[in-house]
Chain A
Amino acid sequence: MKILRFLSAAVLLACLTLRASAGTITVTSLSTILTEMAQEVGGDHVKVVALVKPGMDPHEYQPQPDDLRMASDSQLILATGKHLENYLPKLSESTGGKAAILQVGDAFPSLKITGEDAPKTGGLDPHWWHSVRNMKVAAKTVRDEFIKLDPADKDDFQTNAAATLAKLDGLNQWARVEIAKLPKDKRKLVTSHDAFQYFARDYGFTIYPIEGVTTEDEPSSKKIADLIDTIKAQNVKAVFFENIENPKVIQEITKETGAKVGGELYADGLGTGAEGTYDGMFRHNVTTIVEALQ
């Protein structure tokens, strides 16, 4: 009888274990881009807590005690990487290393930025999501991590990731056609922070950043004067500011050069409304750039 009870308990335990392995993965995301990606690829099998929300500046975000508690309860922490989240070592320490940290940006080569702000990010541009090509690699990286954590739902993760990849292919195709409407000699991007190196590489633009890579930095007078000379020499038609930047400096530059303000670009992540998805944000940026520089 005792043996029978033991066997029943063992079978019950095994069933519960199997159920748990095909359960919900708890994910903490430090990026608006990765929050959406995790939800798309993970579907019903993941629960994503977004610590960095649309409109927040990821360069300035610092985790609060509540954030640390939520991160501690997660199985996986998704981070942009490439030195964007300089607090990651502290986060790992304070959560006791329970949650695995996946720095998605480590999955592909970095592009460098130059200038006085480069040392803050180790000279790397962390805004890799402005390349659809990078986004495809990121989707595969997230998919593989989910499969590791929840192998029972592998098929669903693969199906969801395939749908995401197809959507990204369509987006890239659309962007190539839109950007082809802009002559190559007009593909000169003057932006309020150096965040579009990957975009420039993919679509043949030259970048003239107004300041370094973080939104905390105020550009020096000499840097502004140099930029004004460059804009005049290159006959740049428009300059851009992004969603969390004070546009005063840009207004001064446009006054001196005659270039117009090109519009608002989403450099640091998702916005709200139509720009609250990656697809919407990317289309907004491409359309704004093409219309302003034509």
Chain B
Amino acid sequence: MHGSPLLRTIAIVLALLAAAAPLWRMTHEAAAATVIPVTAATETESQVHLAVAFAQRPLRFEIDYLGKPVWQSELVTGLTAEKEVRMAYPKEGVDLEYKVAWPAGTPLCAARLSVAADDAEAVEKTLWGTGQVDDVLSFP
């Protein structure tokens, strides 16, 4: 390495200054990124398997948790359906609101809802009614 010490110092300072901006951005993003998993971790979501079965094909159905839909089906094509969702599932269990609408004139019908959280065994509950039915089913 040749050249004056002053020039070498200036070159090093310039190199450091050039690296400062990306370095700041990297550390800032890293800090922001660490916040997200902490928030997500407090949610403690579970993988929940939902399955529905109907005695008669309904027009539509909806399953709500804490007042918000976790599964909405506007066009039901068969008598059974299933879905995987990620949702909070406290050890105390969950209450799911199950709304089913059958065509007018359909006789008394049953709608089953099966819930399995993570690796737990599935629990089934059945709702009975005609026309528009809306009830809360409790799952452990």
Interface residues of A (CB under 8 A from B): 173, 176-177, 179-185, 187, 204
Q: Is the CB–CB distance between B66 and A181 below 8 Å?
A: yes
The listed residue (B64, B90, B136) touching A183 by CB distance below 8 A is B90
Q: Is the CB–CB distance between B92 and A185 below 8 Å?
A: yes
For A184, the chain B residues whose CB sits under 8 A away are 90, 92-95
Q: Is the CB–CB distance between A177 and B90 below 8 Å?
A: no
B45 beta carbon closer than 8 Å to chain A: no
* Smallest CB separation, A1 vs chain B (Å): 68
Interface size of B by CB at 8 A reads 16
For A181, the chain B residues whose CB sits under 8 A away are 66-67
Cα distance, A179 to B91, chains bound together (Å): 18
| Minimum-distance CB pairs A-B, first 3 | A184-B92, A181-B67, A180-B95
Question: Chain B 116-140, CB within 8 Å of chain A: the 1/0 string?
Answer: 0000000000000000001110100
Cα distance, A173 to B135, chains bound together (Å): 7
Q: Is the CB–CB distance between B90 and A180 below 8 Å?
A: no
* Smallest CB separation, A286 vs chain B (Å): 13
Cα distance, A187 to B95, chains bound together (Å): 12
Q: List 14 A-B contacts (CB under 8 A).
A: A173-B134, A173-B135, A176-B136, A177-B136, A180-B97, A181-B67, A182-B66, A184-B90, A184-B92, A185-B90, A185-B92, A187-B92, A204-B95, A204-B138
Cα distance, A51 to B97, chains bound together (Å): 42
Cα distance, A179 to B66, chains bound together (Å): 9
Q: Is the CB–CB distance between A180 and B66 below 8 Å?
A: yes
Question: Chain B 44-71, CB within 8 Å of chain A: the 1/0 string?
Answer: 0000000000000000000010110000
